[in-house]
Amino acid sequence: MAGQQQAAVETDQSAQIVEILGEIADRSRKLIEDFVARQGDLENLGNGHTPLGGTFMEMLSRVMSQPHELVQAQFGLWQDYMRLWQSTAQRMLGAESEPVIVPDRGDRRFKDAAWHDNALFDFIKQSYLLSSKYFLQVASQKDGLNDKTQQKLEFYTRQFVEMMAPSNFVATNPEVLRLTIESRGENLLRGLKNMLEDLERGKGRLAIKMTDLEAFEIGRNIATSQGKVVFQTDLMQLIQYSPSTPEAHRRPLMIVPPWINKFYILDLQPKNSFIKFCVDQGFTTFVLSWVNPDEKLSHMSFEDYMLQGPLAALDAIQQATGEKEITAIGYCLGGTLLASTLSWMKQKRDNRIKSATFFTTLVDFSDPGELGVFIDEEQLAAIERSMAKRGYLDGAEMATTFNMLRANDLIWSFVINNYLMGKDPFPFDLLYWNSDSTRMPAAMHSFYLRRCYHENALVQPGAVRLNGVDIDLRRIELPVYWVSTREDHIAPWKSTYAATQLYRGPRRFVLAGSGHIAGVVNPPASGKYGYWTNDELAADPEAWLAGAVHHEGSWWHDWASWNAAHAGEMVPARQPGEGKLTVLEDAPGSYVRTRAA
């Protein structure tokens, strides 16, 4: 009887596998048919020239001219491997042995116990780490290469090293291998199904799903702070948030987020919403919600973003509240725009902005970090050709660039979870936002990449002209507060610190823990990361850090106290729509709901 039941279970499992395979075959056929139908749009795929080949040819030429360095590195690798073989042999014979190399403390790829407990997988792990160390060491030799080429070489070598990690393959990942045996391969079938769904969603491009995309809905359980859209231009909607206190500071707060991503990174959920925090602190809060542009807005320039963004918002805020003076925040690219606007306003003798805060903002792009890998004349020309065809840069391309900066966390961990383990990703508000990419208008993005990143023109007095005014950041004179983050891969903190030597007026620089997003979206209740302060703004950022004081927890209350000192006395709180502007729609508005794909 038991045998018959077991046979029935196995028959049922076989039928399920056949059903899954049939579904996969059908999806594959449809995918291939769709791919073939789109060949006209993909005729140039793979024909573009990549600068990577030239980079590695330069490295090869350097190595061949200095063979002793290569021999020395190879000899070091050989010695390490001999020690590894000896250590592994000792473990096989039952003796204790110390590892030759161990993963970095924060490396989560090797957290499964088998990577240490099983001698074979321990050998695979250490072998990979030794080889990685060797490749990265060879790539880091600086003799004979210019800084730009050296940076590319190190970046792409690291990408290759991370791609080849044994954790990324079924046969060399003990956790995946164990699950494959236990489930008789069902995890791989589910993984293939997940991959096909990602390919379908990406229309032939692998759009790795990082979170449950059905778990969140803008305005329902994400971006839920109460408010109204009270004004809009072709480029942005202005949201005024409803007060939560009977009184508010006289001067409203205007937040200028980046348009590379959507504004609701600052309003994910009530527990981690910086916007809600601002409202609760008694600031009448306005936020610019940028449009997700299509080809009809391809002509929109950086100058247009200034005119239809913060400058238009200033006029609208005055109509909504009756207040001419405000305080302002700019985040990332929004901060770059705010700094440009402040310089423009200074020369127009417009002093409506009484204090400015910059979150992880670059204005001096002389050292943009690893993003500089993607910026040179050859790559810019290729990007501009692509944008000229469509009128914009596709949001997925921008997202891929940012994900590559943290490939282990934002690419390979999901490859393992979704495709090898066959699991669905967990619901996570931040990763939902990260997947909600935006497009970039061709004219604006070309200016931003060329004039800011490639030429570093913004920091050069008079090199950039916006709406008839030569921009000179040195003329900015008002109280300024900076928040940069110590592990920022997008806006390196030492590069953002350069602005402290440009502006005049009272200045406070705060260095938060963590990275570009988590270091900013760090509510006090989380108790995470901490931050550093130092009132002496030395020219050298390392000297500033050496003398800085560390504080536990979030910097939010530190900033709130600072901003309150510049926001004026308390007045009765103002409701959206009670001024001269009529309500257009409920927050978070319609612009933010438009998806890039």
User: What is d(CA 27, CA 34) in angstroms, rounded to the nearest whole number?
Assistant: 10
Q: Report CA torsion sign: 515, 516, 518, 520.
A: positive
Looking only at the bridges linking them, the beta strands covering 549-551 and 247-249 are unpaired
Nearest in space to 588 (alpha carbons), one of 238, 279, 214, 213: 238
Phi first, then psi: give them for residue 11, nearest 5 degrees: -65, -40
Is 277 in contact with 354 (CB distance < 8 Å)? no
Q: Is 564 left (phi over 0), alpha (psi -120 to 50) or beta?
A: alpha
Q: What is the Rg, in whole angstroms, of the alpha carbon atoms belonging to the chain?
A: 27
Is 339 in contact with 358 (CB distance < 8 Å)? yes
User: What is d(CA 532, CA 541) in angstroms, rounded to the nearest whole number?
Assistant: 12
User: What is d(CA 330, CA 43) in angstroms, rounded to the nearest whole number?
Assistant: 41
- Cα 410 to chain centroid distance, Å, stands at 9
User: What is d(CA 154, CA 239) in angstroms, rounded to the nearest whole number?
Assistant: 43
User: What is d(CA 250, CA 283) in angstroms, rounded to the nearest whole number?
Assistant: 8
Residue type, 9: V
Identified catalytic residue from 199, 314, 332, 502: 332
452 is catalytic: no
**Continuous segment of H or E residues that includes residue 158:** helix 147-163
Cβ count near 107 (within 10 Å): 13
Is 591 in contact with 292 (CB distance < 8 Å)? yes
Nearest-10 Cα torsion for 192, 193, 196, 200: -170
Please, which residues bridge with residue 504 across strands? Answer: 477
As given in the structure block, the two tokens for residue 520 are: 């900013």
Catalytic amino acids?
Answer: 332
